[in-house]
Structure 1
Amino acid sequence: METLPRIVLALVIGTAGGSAFYLMNLPLPWMLGALFATMVASISNAPILGPARLRPAVVAVIGVLLGSRFTPDIVAEAGAWIGTLAVLMVYVVAVALVVVPFYRFAGRFDWVTAYFAGMPGGLSEMIEIGEASGAKPAPIILAHSLRIVVTIALIALWFRIIEGHEVGASMGAVEVPLTWLDALLLLTSAVFGSILGKRLRFPAPTFLGPLLVSAVLHLAGFTESAPPGLLVNAAQVLLGTVLGCRFLGISARTVLPAAALAIGATLLTLALAFGAGLAMGYLAGIAPDQALLALAPGGLTEMGLIALAIQADVAFVALHHVVRILFVIVLAPVAFRLLAVRRFTP
């Protein structure tokens, strides 16, 4: 029970941060506010603890929400995405070729650690594969955690300040009344989808499983409803709190140089994403905003939320992030063995 007060304190700080960002009308207030407040508290050695066990339920809610935006029109557009997926794969290789050397020479990482810190894959997958390959886990954790934080902040601010989109707290508003049958179907999407995702060994199973089941139910016309806004906002606070508490035990002296590296790596990646987005627009007429969200090196869940907030095609964004993660999971270990990176480790 001694951990419960620490979790409660973390949630109080996260809620306060989300509320402050909401009152200041900042982008993605509930998630970014909670993330920022708990990250500062974590670095300050506050006695908090992230509610990590609640994360599967949280991302399941967001998965169901994003799945509710799948419409029959998407099926007609899917054929044009073959070319954009090819662009995505070239982009992933380009990111690896640019960012891995950046971490090796600018960050002075050994080649093995730089390799898995610079790969544009999921946090947990890169830590697991990297540690098994002989990399140092701490720099990889910092590199990917900060990459996600920096990307979310930059992308959200870009769409709010430069593009003028309302990246606010109203994305979960339900236009269609939520009946008891709708609520049961959405709950089934979350529970059954999570089980299905784990059985099929999806990356991020408790997110992709509910998204898939929710998408199928909405495409089939069984429901047109989405989770209520209050639940979605609470899920964002929990998600931001979990992300912010990843920095527990890390001092400001360690975070600051890692943050500088993460900003540099993220800017390099976003520059490549912009170029790849232009290629997607040329090949398939994809809007620049949508292409950027599909390619940005942020988390799948977080980029999906921003896509939802600016009314972008959630299915397009989600599919490209899933393919990116799967491509890197398959590519990274194979390329590592082929390149014999260990030989170059000092």
Structure 2
Amino acid sequence: MSAGLRPTFAMALSLGAAGGAVFTLIGMPLSWMLGAMTVTGVASVLKLPVRGWSKARPPMSAVIGTMLGSQFGPHTLQSAAQWWPALLGLAGYLLVAATLSNIYLRRVVALDRPTAFFSAMPGGLIDMVLMGAEKGGDERTIALMHSSRIFLVVLSLPPLMTLITGADVGGQSAAWRPLANMAIGDVLWFLGALAAGATFGKLARLPAPFLIGPMLASMAVHWSGVSGFVVPSAVIAVAQVVLGTTVGCRFAGISTQRILHILLTSAGATAILLSVAVVFAFALQFVLDVPIEGVLLAFAPGGLAEMSLVALALNLEVSFVVVSHICRIGMVILGAQLFLVFKDSRNR
């Protein structure tokens, strides 16, 4: 079934869409992503015939990247000059949060050193799994820890924002943009940026090529002024459903006891990461012209695609969130490599 849509993924996608629709009807924030993620996560625990599909994420990442690029414009460069305190704060946040999370996983959970280290680092799932395996860590545990972290961050972030900042997250949703508002010319520019960006991303071997490549292409289109296409809300909803479904299905095929153990373990590490993010967000709000909700989202230890979609859905400063998370991933990879080189040199 590799050439077509897998029945187990079709089942998961149907459940995800139904979950998103229910969450939308009851007025939940980030309803399409949270609904899809929650329902498919529960389906995985209940051992229903649902599975993720690796071929679904690249094209959806390209769609998301193109959407993100449309949020950048000439004003971004002017704003970015004011963001340097956030990037310095981000480095400090990663150092403090990863250290505390590592101590928790080593001393409380009793994971072995490499597994704990790469599970604690709030970086990209694939990067951390590959680097952890190279150093003798448990690949499956690292993958499940990061999958659980993303799941828990996306699930807890909207209510956390409301609790900490008092913001009405449900009322911050972006205005609905009908599909009919997108002219034929805009559709062609959208598809062209998507295809060209994905191709460039792969050829240039960019990190997350299907997301960053189309994002750069879409930025170029908007900066040049040849098109100012705005992605319709229905497309964003589909992106949320697919992404939420793939996150929820990461627990498929794993025993219920193992899932609950990983979720409980990850909840502790995620609580540490989010608590430190809240502290840094409150401190940085005084030196940044960005709402505290945007600062918190930029520091939240979720995935780049997931956090970017949250920013889009909540009508926050998308470019700031995207730049922060790209820098986070780069800092984590570089920091992990430097730390390991230092450790290896001391052990010789």
Sort the Cα spacing of 1:174 and 1:70 in 2 relative to 1 into closer, same or farther, 3 A.
farther
Does the Cα contact within 8 Å between 1:22 and 1:169 map onto a contact in 2? no
* Residue matched to 2:103: 101
State the percentage of identical aligned residues: 35
Corresponding residue to 2:248 among 227, 230, 244 = 244
Match of 1:130 in 2: 132
- Equivalent positions of 1:133-152 (< 5 A) are 133-152=135-154
SS in 2 for 1:80: coil
Unaligned runs of 5+ in 2: none
* 1:270-289 mapped onto 2 (5 Å cutoff): 270-289=274-293
Mapped contact 1:61–1:227 kept (Cα < 8 A): no
Q: Where does the alignment leave 5 or more consecutive residues of structure 1 unmatched?
A: none
CA distance in 1, matches of 2:331, 2:180: 37
Determine the C-alpha separation between the residues in 1 that align with 2:298 and 2:176.
20
Q: Structure 1 CA distance, aligned partners of 2:169 and 2:345?
A: 43
* CA distance in 2: counterparts of 1:175 and 1:75, whole angstroms: 30
Q: How many residues align?
A: 343
Q: How does 1:304-343 map to 2 (within 5 A)?
A: 304-340=308-344
State which of 212, 217, 228 in structure 1 corresponds to 2:216.
212
Query: Could you say which residue in structure 2 is the equivalent of 1:29?
Result: 31
Partners of 1:42 and 1:245 within 8 A in 2: yes
The CA deviation string for residues 149-208 of structure 1, in whole angstroms up to 9 with x for no partner, is 111111122346741023787666259932221111111111111112222222221111
* More moved, 14-23 vs 117-126: 14-23
Shift of 1:213: 1.3
Q: What is residue 235 of structure 2 aligned with on the other side?
A: 231
1:245–1:171 CA distance, 2 compared to 1 (3 A): farther
Cα pair 1:167 1:306 within 8 Å, conserved: no
CA contact (8 A) 2:125 2:146 kept: yes
Q: Helix, strand or coil for the counterpart of 2:123? A: coil
The equivalent residue for 2:261 is 257
Contact 2:19 2:39 in 1 (8 A): yes
For residues 257-314 of structure 1, what are the alpha-carbon distances to aligned partners after superposition, in whole Å with 9 as ceiling and x for unaligned?
Answer: 2212222211211121122223322333433111111110011111111212222211
State the match for 2:298 in structure 1: 294
Give the Cα–Cα distance (whole angstroms) in 1 for the partners of residues 214 and 56 of structure 2: 15
The answer on 1:41 being equivalent to 2:43 is yes
The aligned amino acid for 2:266 is A
CA distance in 1, matches of 2:21, 2:162: 18
Mapped contact 1:88–1:324 kept (Cα < 8 A): yes
Comparing 120-129 with 10-19, which one deviates more in the overlay? 10-19
8 Å CA contact retained: 1:160, 1:166? no
Q: How far, CA to CA, are the matches of 2:172 and 2:293 in structure 1?
A: 17
The 2-side partners of 1:218 and 1:160 are apart by 33
Partners in 1 of 2:174 and 2:84 — Cα distance? 32
SS of 2:83's equivalent in the other structure is: helix
Tell me what 2:59 maps to: 57
- In the alignment, what sits opposite 1:110? 112
Instruction: Supply the AA of the counterpart residue of 2:125.
Output: L
Corresponding residue for 2:167?
163
Q: Using the alignment, how far apart are the partners of 2:94 and 2:328 within structure 1?
A: 7
Kindly indicate whether residue 210 of structure 2 is the aligned counterpart of residue 198 of structure 1: no
SS at match of 2:111: coil
CA shift in 2, pair 1:157/1:284, >3 Å: closer
RMSD: 2.3
> Aligned AA for 2:219?
A
Task: Give the alignment partner of residue 19 of structure 2, picking from 17, 25, 31.
Answer: 17
The TM-score, its normalising length taken from structure 1, stands at 0.92
